[in-house]
Each structure stands twice: as C-alpha cells, then as structure tokens.
Amino acid sequence: MPLDKQIAGVLQQFRDIPEPDYSQVDAAQYRQFSDNMLPAIPGEPMSEVRELRVAGADGELEARLYRPLEQDNLPLLVFFHGGGFVMGNLDTHDNLCRSLAHQTGAVVVSVAYRLAPEHKFPAAPLDCHAATCWLVEHAAELGVDGSRLALAGDSAGGNLALAVSQLAAQREGPKIRYQCLFYPVTDAGCDSQSFEEFAESYLLSAKAMRWFWQQYLQEEGQADDPLASPLRAESLAGLPPTALLTAGFDPLRDEGEALAECLREAGVPVRLQRYEGMIHGFISMTPFVEAAAQALTEACADLRGALN
C-alpha cells in the first residue's frame, strides 16, 4: 500500500528541516526545539483538567488529569508520552490525551516522567510504575475507579507502558485490565528489516532512534534488560490484554509486530493492527489525517470495551 496522501503532505512540511548532527547535538536544546515545533491545536473540551503532583521513584512528578464527564468512579487510563525517552511533555500530548478521554469515557492521567540523558534508565520506567501505583492508591480522592485501570503510550511511552505492566506482574500490583500501545519501542538493537527500509525520510530516522538509545541507557548491557527492551524478555506471561498499533512506513514496525508475537506466545490476548499508509507518530496527527483519526477511534473502542 502506498503512503497515505495526507501523511505525504505532513512529510512535505518537514522536508526543509535538516536533521541535526547527532554527534554534536545538545539534548536539552534539541528537546526545547522539538517540543515547540508544532503549534498547539485546541483539543476536546473536558469537564475537568487538573494539574497533579504524583509520586515518582525519587520524588514528585508533574501529571495532568483529564475528566471527560462530570461524574466520579470513571475508569482510569494512565498515559505515558513518547519522545525517545528524551523529549515530549504534558503539553505535546495534550490533544491526544483529550481525545483518549473523550472517546473512552475514562479519566486520563498523563505522567511527566523523568527524561534522559539527565535521568537515564531505569529512572523512567520506575517513575511510571510508582506514579501508576500512586494513582490507584489515591483513586477515591481523584474520583476514579482504580479497579478499572488501563495503560496507554506512544513510541517510547508504549515502551514504558510495557515496563509498568512487567513491574506490576512481578510485584503483584497494581492490577491492569488492558494496555494500548501505539508503535512502541521494543528493542535497543535497531536492526530489523523495517529499521533499514525506512531509515530516513519518514519523520523518525534510524539515526535519531540510535541517538535516543544512546541518551537513555547508562551502559550497553542495559539493552538486554526487559524493562528497556521488552522484546528480549524470557517471557511476557502475566501481562494484560493488549492492543498494539503499528505503521507501515515506520522503522519500529517490525519490532512492534515481533513483540505482539511474543505476547501471543506467552498467552496474552493481543489485537495487532498495522496501518499500512501511516508513519511513526501518526496517532498524534488525528486533527489533519483522517486515517489516523479512524485508528484512534478503533483503539478507543478497544479500551472502552475493556474498562466497562
């Protein structure tokens, strides 16, 4: 299937922006540039949007709560943003979180975990697990039903959702009903066929992904840790039912689909869907890419069914 026409138009907007020399780039400056690249697009109106302070693994973290309906005891969907473990924040994914809340009927809480290279692995997964535990423990005062808990994340955020699920299985809590992973990062090897085939010209480049891993990991041996590379886990048994979305023109496509197979082999129910004409990051393009909006609607239907 060819590249989606609306996606091709998106790529055209980025063609004149040169890729940095990653051997010279300053992570903090690159983060600031990237996080402010796109203009803010007004999202779905919410009954409540509230800034929170939640527990991380080593101190408090910022988070943002989105309540779509003026009622208590709604399900809880904890969201982890993408950005290569280096970039992204509550604002870059505000529109997506509003859409998730609106379409699932769940209270969404987006967590601002610590970023690399200032805070290297395993700071981010430990933060995300600690924040999820805190949210469940404080469910009553937040007006949510902590027994109806799901996770979601895009790219690096999908990796972190998987890490939280693994830690929850190992530590016997919290109980997670479902996880929705949008084109997740699953392996530090960066050596799949799709990684080579779509190495450049499709928004996320192979050079950028390798640089993200260099910023994230403290040492090479950590690439084998299942919390960093879930595809290398001995078993993924005990993880929650999973929806996993991949993009046809994404360097991470094959590693995401390989993870779906590993989950199935471990006895985890999986709905894998490849969106052929899409690129990495497409789920954040729903305001101007019709196929992306349809993909999000389908993912939200899965989440809504799992949480109700």
Residue 269 has a CB neighbour count (10 Å cut-off) of 12
Maximum Cα–Cα distance across the chain: 51
Structure tokens at 112: 């601002």
Active-site annotation holds for 250: yes
Block residue for tokens 């600690």: 130
Residue of 99, 155, 229, 284 with catalytic role? 155
Where do runs of H (alpha helix) occur along the chain?
5-14, 27-35, 94-104, 123-137, 139-142, 156-171, 193-197, 206-216, 253-265, 290-307
Residue of 94, 187, 250, 302 with catalytic role? 250
Active-site annotation holds for 129: no
Residue of 93, 280, 284, 302 with catalytic role? 280
Active-site annotation holds for 155: yes
Q: Which residue in 159, 163, 96, 178 sits closest to 129, CA to CA? A: 163
Block residue for tokens 């109806």: 148
Fill in the amino acid letter for 64. Answer: R
Residue 65: which residues within 8 A CB-CB, separation 6 or more? 48, 49, 50, 51, 52, 107, 108, 109, 142
Return the active site residues: 155, 250, 280
